[in-house]
């Protein structure tokens, strides 16, 4: 017996317990009662495979539980094994495909792939067809076919793999050829593709039921795709949070998870600009500490919306009373009224009021608008005692967010409902209307002077 047999792997020992002559030399390991097949010689091609430099293939054979199948094949006839080099199974193989082969549920695919590399007959290198004679077809242990060919350069090949070590291991019951890559049967490739497709399908998020238009009772057509960088489809009020201090709902547009706009960084930049500019610490404190409006504004800008902030300075914020700030949601409502869902600069607003006199800008405090007009060469917002002037223009302008400093806090005008006093009801007595038959009867009685006896004829 060869001296290196004592150093073989666990796989080598597992195979050798089939032989009673070798089993005595093994450590105290119980023999399986199911191993009743013929004995395998230590000079077998299977022993050589387990003790060869094709260690990756040997490990796959062990994991695929193919020892008994190969033992039966060797007992019936000579075999030819095409063994891929270790690099082909360790580094060159697709990691997803290797993971697929090693999953327990795909054991049959692994067995099919390995037996595809074994031919139930002895084919040495001198049995290869010459180049001019074409290719020869041979059955594998899986009843599939492989084609042996010889290229014009004289290089031998099996299907698409070249023989890099012909007749690498020669034994009485078979031989081993080293090949450059793994041979993959069509059935295994199709099974892998099918599993991969199912995995990609299962990763798709479930979609809700189709929406029905209540006016036409037909399915609503999906919205057209929005080009990158274009404004959002929904109005800004649909993307806002349903209540104060809540994150906005997602709106279809160029932003969102694709992050075409980095609204969070832009909001952080303009708040830092307010602090460095000086005189607007109260406004920054409300946005960041007292509310979550800074986060909400960042989400809106990320979704593709633009905003103009009319920021009251610290002197104006100091005039707010406790009653004005004590109501639930009051800080948010005040700030909402100072945010215009448009991108306006000092120049654009001044040109607008110069041209149109008064301009009403929408605010995020729906449905209230803020009125702007020209005054003393500047822009004045609001009317009466609650007005504010554009005091520090263009504190921050980056194309998405514009911050304009004002010297007062704006409040919307309360809707005054005029109550009209209803006119007093006048009772009107209407004379009952007589029918045609009664009119004819009264006319006949009048001719004989008897109509005065009947009240209906008077």
| Sole residue written with tokens 């610290």 | 314
**pLDDT of amino acid 455:** 58
Cis peptide before 367 (omega within 30 of 0): yes
pLDDT surpasses 70 at 41: yes
350-354 average pLDDT score:
93
127-131 average pLDDT score:
85
- Alpha-carbon distance 241 to 296, whole Å? 8
Average pLDDT, the chain: 78
141-165 average pLDDT score:
89
CB 89 within 8 Å of CB 55: no
Instruction: Express each pLDDT in 284-322 by its tens digit.
Output: 999 998 888 998 999 888 888 899 999 999 999 999 988
Cα 254 → chain centroid:
15
**pLDDT of amino acid 261:** 75
Q: If 0-12 CB within 10 Å is exposed, 13-18 middle and 19+ buried, where does residue 14 land? A: middle
pLDDT band of 253, cuts 50, 70, 90: very low
427-453 average pLDDT score:
59
63-77 average pLDDT score:
87
The mean-pLDDT minimum among 24-33, 59-68, 178-187 falls in 24-33
**pLDDT of amino acid 255:** 45
Instruction: Express each pLDDT in 14-27 by its tens digit.
Output: 433 334 333 333 34
**pLDDT of amino acid 37:** 44
The mean-pLDDT minimum among 87-91, 116-120, 148-152, 416-420 falls in 416-420
The mean-pLDDT minimum among 3-12, 59-68, 101-110 falls in 3-12
34-42 average pLDDT score:
55
**pLDDT of amino acid 436:** 55
The mean-pLDDT minimum among 151-155, 157-161, 254-258, 304-308 falls in 254-258
Instruction: Express each pLDDT in 181-240 by its tens digit.
Output: 899 999 998 888 888 776 555 544 555 666 777 767 777 777 677 676 677 777 887 777
Phi, psi of 19 (to 5 degrees): -100, 125
Instruction: Express each pLDDT in 398-439 by its tens digit.
Output: 889 999 999 999 999 874 333 344 445 454 444 555 555 566
């Amino acid at each position: 017996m060869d001296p290196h047999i004592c150093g073989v792997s666990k796989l080598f020992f597992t195979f050798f317990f089939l032989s009673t002559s070798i089993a005595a030399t093994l450590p105290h390991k119980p023999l399986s009662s199911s191993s009743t097949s013929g004995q395998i010689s230590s000079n077998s091609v299977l022993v050589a495979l387990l003790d060869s430099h094709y260690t990756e293939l040997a490990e796959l054979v062990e994991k695929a539980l193919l020892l008994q199948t190969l033992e039966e094949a060797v007992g019936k006839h000579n075999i030819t094994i095409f063994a891929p080099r270790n690099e082909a199974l360790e580094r060159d193989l697709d990691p997803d495909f290797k993971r697929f082969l090693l999953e327990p549920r795909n054991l049959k695919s692994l067995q099919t792939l390995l037996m595809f590399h074994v031919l139930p007959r002895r084919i040495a290198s001198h049995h290869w067809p010459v180049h001019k004679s074409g290719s020869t077809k041979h059955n594998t242990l899986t009843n599939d076919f492989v084609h042996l060919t010889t290229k014009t350069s004289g290089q031998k090949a099996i299907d698409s793999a070249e023989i890099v070590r012909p007749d690498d291991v020669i034994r009485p019951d078979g031989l081993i050829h080293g090949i450059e890559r793994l041979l993959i049967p069509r059935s295994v490739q199709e099974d892998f593709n099918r599993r991969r497709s199912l995995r990609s399908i299962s990763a798709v998020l479930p979609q809700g039921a189709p929406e029905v238009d209540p006016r036409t009772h037909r399915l609503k057509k999906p919205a057209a795709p929005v080009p990158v960088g274009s404004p959002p489809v929904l109005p800004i009020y649909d993307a806002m949070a349903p209540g104060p201090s809540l994150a906005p709902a997602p709106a279809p547009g160029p932003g969102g998870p694709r992050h075409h706009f980095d609204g969070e960084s832009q909001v952080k930049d303009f708040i830092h600009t307010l602090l460095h500019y000086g005189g607007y610490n109260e406004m920054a404190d409300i946005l960041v500490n007292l509310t979550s409006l800074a986060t909400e504004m960042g989400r809106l800008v990320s979704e593709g919306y633009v905003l103009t902030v009319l920021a009251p300075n610290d002197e104006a914020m100091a005039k707010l009373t406790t009653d004005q700030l004590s109501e639930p949601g009051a800080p948010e409502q005040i700030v909402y009224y100072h945010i215009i869902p448009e991108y306006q600069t000092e120049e654009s607003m001044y040109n607008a009021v110069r041209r149109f006199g008064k301009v009403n800008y929408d605010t995020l405090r729906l449905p209230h608008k803020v009125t702007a007009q020209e005054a003393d060469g500047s822009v004045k917002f609001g009317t009466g005692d609650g007005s504010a002037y554009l005091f520090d223009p263009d504190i921050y302008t980056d194309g998405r967010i514009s911050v304009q400093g004002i010297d007062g806090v704006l409040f919307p005008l309360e809707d005054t409902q005029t109550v009209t006093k209803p006119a007093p009801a006048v009772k009107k007595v209407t004379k009952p209307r007589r029918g045609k038959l009664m009119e004819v009867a009264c006319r006949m009685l009048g001719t004989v002077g008897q109509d005065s006896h009947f009240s209906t004829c008077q």
